[in-house]
Amino acid sequence: MSSHKIAVIGGDGIGPEVVEAGVKVLEALAAVEPGLAFDFRRFDWGSDYYRRNGRMMPQDGLTQIEGFDAIYFGSVGDPNLPDDITLWGLRLAICQGFDQYANVRPTRLLPGLTGPLRPELGKQIDWVIVRENSEGEYAGVGGRAHRGLPIEVGMDVAVFTRTGIERIARFACDLAMSRPRKLLTVVTKSNAQRHGMVLWDEVVREVVRDHPGLTVDWMLVDAMTQRMVNKPGSIDTVLATNLHADILSDLAAALGGSLGIGSTSNMDPSRNRPSMFEPIHGSAFDITGKGVANPLGAFWTASLMLDHLGEPAAARRLMVAIETVTDRGEYLSPDLGGVANTAEVTAAVIAALSGANSTSSSGLPG
Ligand code: ATP
């Protein structure tokens, strides 16, 4: 039996709390799922590491983790440190260093949960948002000049390349084709942005032509927000730029019940380097150390990671256990209207794992 080598980076705030809960769940899963084994190695990188060492991770950090099968990540961000140190020094350093250009976020309203939409609309949510994760509005290109003067200027340049658009479009088309509805919505803003977004449209259109069985529609990003709220059942797979998808996926998380449930994968689809799996929530300093963080996002994340590792049965079993717990409603954390703490939700999911072996999907193909 071969073990999956997982680099565990809890990071900041509630990150370590939910990720350690996830490791417990994965160990419990390995105990009941034939042939499943993990070799976890912890890395204490993040803002505390920065305070000790002046860096968010060691200089050779990427080399240390490049041989792992996957990275299980918590969150990064500290109220006393600027985001360009914390985010760029760890999470984005890994995403960009490993060219994890596809960020994939599934959203479903899990059984038993009520989101802000009317129930008949809420239960129609079954989306996967594909976010371009390497360029666009977050390319880091730009600058500031004339600081403090009336003529001070700040610029961020959105960078769109043919290669970058083509590879994410291909990934999104393939993912949409692997789902039953074979339906892709491409988000754009080419009515107002006349260069990069127009190239985005042109290149996506070329890639779409190679997928004859795929139904494709196009939405301006502003109109997309309304469609997600008013007609959630008309959406399946969504392709959007780095910034657009960042915003749309927070809306998706809210419509799906709570930020504490959403999960994400940062993938290098070529599989040359490890992909990274993380809950979508941030460090949540308001609840850090209180033991009440919702770990379900970290568990769903673990299910995505299992799919990626080629363990679809284990991924499904974990999803079924999560859904059993949400459906019963007995052990829900405060963000979902319950009173259970992190440890109690974790124990409930572990207990449900023994009974869980039917069908439910993380949203990602293997
Ligand atoms: P970031 O910028 O890093 O995404 P943020 O400030 O936008 O972070 P979070 O840190 O995720 O957002 O927190 C937003 C709110 O959601 C906070 O009130 C936080 O307590 C709550 N929250 C986030 N994650 C969870 C969780 N797992 N369980 C319970 N509440 C959560």
290, 177: one domain = no
Q: How far is the CA of 151 from the centre of ligand 1 (A)?
A: 36
**Residue at which a domain ends, from 216, 233, 255:** 255
CATH of the domain at 270: 3.40.718.10
Helices 342-353 & 296-308, crossing angle to 10 degrees?
Answer: 40
Q: Residue 252 — left, alpha, or beta (φ > 0 → left; ψ -120 to 50 → alpha)?
A: alpha
Is 246 known to be catalytic?
A: yes
CA distances to 9, 180, 223 from 64, in Å: 12, 39, 44
Look at residue 111 and tell me if it is in a domain.
no
Report residue 231: phi and psi, to 5°: -135, 60
The span from the CA of 42 to the CA of 44, in Å, is 6
User: For ligand 1, what atom is nearest to the CA of residue 14?
Assistant: 27
Same domain, 11 and 97: yes
**Residues 38 and 150 grouped into a single domain:** no
Which pLDDT score, from 0 to 100, does residue 354 have?
Answer: 86
CB 45 within 8 A of CB 72: no
Whether 120 and 251 share a structural domain? yes
| One domain, residues 120 and 180 | yes
Instruction: Give the active site residue among 246, 268, 307, 335.
Output: 246
Is the residue at 74 inside a domain? Answer: yes
- Ligand 1: residue of 278, 281, 294 to mutate (most ligand atoms within 8 A of CB) is 281
Same domain, 248 and 347: no
Among the atoms of ligand 1, which is closest to the Cα of residue 296? 27
* Annotation marks residue 222 as catalytic: yes
Distance (Å) from CA 35 to ligand 1 centroid: 35
Residues 6+ apart with CB under 8 A from 70: 4, 6, 7, 274, 275, 276, 277, 305, 308, 309
211 falls within a domain: yes
Give distance in angstroms: CA of 79 to centre of ligand 1.
Answer: 13
One domain for residues 221 and 93: no
CA–CA gap between residue 134 and residue 269 (Å, rounded): 13
Question: How many structural domains are present in the chain?
Answer: 2
Q: Which residues form the pocket of ligand 1, taking CB atoms under 6 Å from any ligand atom?
A: 14, 18, 77, 259-260, 281-284, 286-287, 293-294, 297, 333, 335
Pick from 219, 234, 255: which residue ends a domain? 255
Neighbouring C-alpha atoms within 13 Å toward the C-beta of 188: 26
Amino acid 155: pLDDT = 96
If phi over 0 gives left and psi between -120 and 50 gives alpha, with beta otherwise, what is residue 186? beta
Q: Which atom of ligand 1 lies at the shortest distance from residue 13's CA?
A: 10
DSSP designation for 3: P
143 Cα: distance to centroid of ligand 1 (angstroms): 29
- 73 lies in the same domain as 41: yes
Structural domain includes residue 216 = yes
Secondary element (H or E) of residue 169: helix 162-178
pLDDT at 265: 97
Catalytic residue among 39, 83, 156, 222: 222
Block mean pLDDT (10 aa), the chain, length 366: 91 98 98 96 98 97 98 97 93 94 96 93 96 92 96 96 98 97 97 94 98 97 98 98 95 90 95 96 95 97 97 96 96 94 98 72 59
Q: Is residue 86 part of a domain?
A: yes
DSSP, collapsed to helix, strand or coil, labels residue 307 as helix
132 CA to centre of ligand 1 in angstroms = 23
Q: Return the ligand 1 atom nearest residue 285 CA.
A: 10
For ligand 1, mutation pick of 259, 264, 322, 341 (most atoms within 8 Å of CB): 259
Category of 83 on φ-ψ map: left (φ > 0), alpha (ψ -120 to 50) or beta? alpha
215 and 270 within one domain: no
Predicted local distance difference test score (pLDDT) of residue 259: 87
Whether residue 30 is found in the same domain as residue 71: yes
Query: Of ligand 1's atoms, which has the minimum distance to the CA of residue 295?
Result: 27
Range of the domain at 193: 116-255
Residue 110 lies in a domain: no
Return the structure tokens found at 195.
Answer: 């260069």
Is 62 inside a domain boundary?
Answer: yes
Judgement on whether residues 248 and 266 belong to the same structural domain of the protein: no
- d(CA 145, CA 154) in angstroms, rounded, equals 7
Asked about 189 being catalytic, the answer comes back as: yes
Q: Which residues contact 294 (CB under 8 A, 6 or more apart)?
A: 18, 258, 260, 261, 333, 335, 336, 342, 345
The predicted structure's pLDDT at residue 363? 63
- What integer pLDDT is reported at residue 23 of this predicted model? 98
Residue 183 lies in a domain: yes
| Distance between CA atoms of residues 366 and 360, nearest Å | 14
135 and 238 inside one domain: yes
Predicted pLDDT of residue 309: 96
Q: Whose C-alpha lies nearest to ligand 1, atom 7? A: 282
Catalytic site residue from 189, 236, 307, 331:
189
Which residue type is seen at 62? L
pLDDT value for 187: 98
Question: Of residues 138, 268, 307, 331, which has the active-site annotation?
Answer: 138
The SS3 assignment for 190 reads coil
How many secondary structure helices (H) and strands (E) does the chain include?
A: 13, 12
Cβ contacts of 309 within 8 Å, gap of 6 or more: 4, 69, 70
Which of the listed residues 240, 255, 270 is the one where a domain comes to its end? Answer: 255
pTM: 0.92
Name the closest-CA residue to atom 13, ligand 1. Answer: 284
- Atom index in ligand 1 nearest the CA of residue 279 equals 27
Tens digit of each residue's pLDDT (9 = 90 or more) over 80-93: 999 989 999 999 99
